[in-house]
Structures are given as structure tokens and as C-alpha cells.
């Protein structure tokens, strides 16, 4: 992490804290900085984690498309923690890592299919301060993903905005998950508006 969080991480204590730390070390190899920051309000931490767990169980939209959409949001908002963590997750889920690395500069990359480009554009359009989603975007995705797939993709992007914007506001940055599993750094982010 390059800077301090805006709210210093709290000491994670108690029985619940011990369980959370043990689970984090087992699944991630370390306790993320974000857990310490959110530990100031354990109900918020637990509810955010519960929603995230439910999001992971949805199955109407392709896992790779959802992962790429979340990374596009993280890249657009500038959440280094989410981008790093989702890159780590993509690696662990055996997703296309060449494409995952290119998410921050997807418009300039020739590695994405037309559908993936539509999903990435949709994720970015939902992420704009005033959403820029068009009828045409939704109609095309409905044709390609079906109604349930579009609903799920939309909810995943909304959840990504929820988590990325929270992390950026609190100054939570990358914990180095991608480096911890020996992965090359992510592609640099293309300039916004290019």
C-alpha cells in the first residue's frame, strides 16, 4: 500500500475477530487492510461480506464476464484494492489472465471479444457519476445474455460500485494479492475519456 488509509485500521479483536482473521489467512494468505478499517463498524463489515457472498452464488451470467465487469468498475473508479483482489480471484478461478490484465486498458486492447467489449462498456456506463447506460446497450446485452443475465450483470456492477467507491473514499489501496501469487502487474489504466 502506498499511503495510509483515511481511517486507521482497528485492532481486530474478540472471538468473531479471531475467526475472521483465521478465515482471511486461510483463503487469502493474509488479513486484508480493509478488514481492519471496516472493523470500526463490524455490522457494516459483516453485511458487506454477506452481500458479497450472495453475489458470488449467482449463476445466470458467465463468471468471466462478471469478473471483467467488476475489474472495469475498479479500474474506472481507481480502486487499486478491488482491481488487485479481483485479478487474484480471476487467477484462482482459472479465468483468462491475459484478458484480465488488459481490463484497465480494454479499449486499446485487441484481446476482447465483441460481447466482452459490450460488457465492459456497460460496466463503465453504469459507473459514470451520471449513469450513461443506453437503451441500445441493454437491448444488445438482453439478446446475448438473456434477461436474467442482464439483471445479474447489472447487480454485479452495482455491487462493484458499492465496494470500489467505499474503498476509494476510505483510502484502502492494494494489499498486493496479485504479487503474492507471482502474477505480473496489471496493465496500466488508459486515460479516462480515451
Alpha carbon 173 to its chain's center: 13
**In the chain, what are the domain boundaries?**
59-180
The residue behind cell 460488457 is: 119
pLDDT for 126 equals 98
- Considering just the CA atoms, what is the radius of gyration of the chain in Å? 17
Q: Are 125 and 131 in contact (CB under 8 A)?
A: yes
pLDDT tens sequence across 125-180? 999 999 999 999 999 999 999 999 999 999 999 999 999 999 999 999 999 998 87
* E strand or H helix at 123: helix 114-127
Q: Are 146 and 60 in contact (CB under 8 A)?
A: yes
pLDDT tens sequence across 27-46? 999 999 999 999 999 999 99
pLDDT tens sequence across 76-127? 999 999 999 999 999 999 999 999 999 999 999 999 999 999 999 999 999 9
- If you average pLDDT over residues 48-76, what whole number do you get? 97
Q: How far apart are CA 13 and CA 51, in angstroms?
A: 23
Buried b (16+ CB within 10 A) or exposed e, 39-74: beebeebeebeeeeeebeebeebbebbbbbbbbbbb
* E strand or H helix at 145: helix 135-170
Mean pLDDT (the chain, rounded): 93
Kindly report the CATH class assigned to 59-180. Answer: mainly alpha
Among 91, 76, 102, CA closest to 160: 76
pLDDT for 166 equals 97
Whole-model pTM? 0.91
Q: Are 71 and 125 in contact (CB under 8 A)?
A: no
pLDDT at residue 72 tops 80: yes
Amino acid at each position: 500500500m502506498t499511503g495510509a488509509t483515511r481511517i486507521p485500521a482497528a485492532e481486530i479483536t474478540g472471538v468473531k475477530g479471531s475467526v475472521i482473521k483465521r478465515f482471511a489467512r486461510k483463503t487469502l494468505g493474509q488479513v486484508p487492510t480493509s478488514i481492519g478499517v471496516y472493523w470500526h463498524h463490524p455490522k457494516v463489515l459483516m453485511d458487506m461480506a454477506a452481500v458479497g457472498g450472495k453475489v458470488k452464488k449467482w449463476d445466470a451470467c458467465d463468471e468471466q464476464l462478471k469478473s471483467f465487469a467488476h475489474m472495469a468498475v475498479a479500474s474506472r473508479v481507481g480502486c487499486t484494492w478491488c482491481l488487485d483482489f479481483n485479478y487474484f480471484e480471476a487467477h484462482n478461478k482459472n479465468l483468462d489472465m491475459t484478458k484480465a490484465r488488459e481490463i484497465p486498458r480494454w479499449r486499446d486492447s485487441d484481446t476482447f471479444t465483441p460481447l466482452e467489449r459490450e460488457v465492459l462498456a456497460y460496466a463503465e456506463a453504469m459507473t459514470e457519476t451520471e449513469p450513461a447506460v443506453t437503451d441500445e446497450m441493454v437491448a444488445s446485452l438482453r439478446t446475448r445474455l438473456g434477461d436474467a443475465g442482464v439483471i445479474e450483470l447489472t447487480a454485479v456492477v452495482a455491487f462493484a460500485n458499492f465496494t470500489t467507491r467505499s474503498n476509494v473514499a476510505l483510502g484502502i489501496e492494494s494489499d498486493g494479492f496479485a504479487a503474492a501469487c507471482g502474477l505480473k502487474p496489471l496493465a496500466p489504466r488508459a486515460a479516462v475519456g480515451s
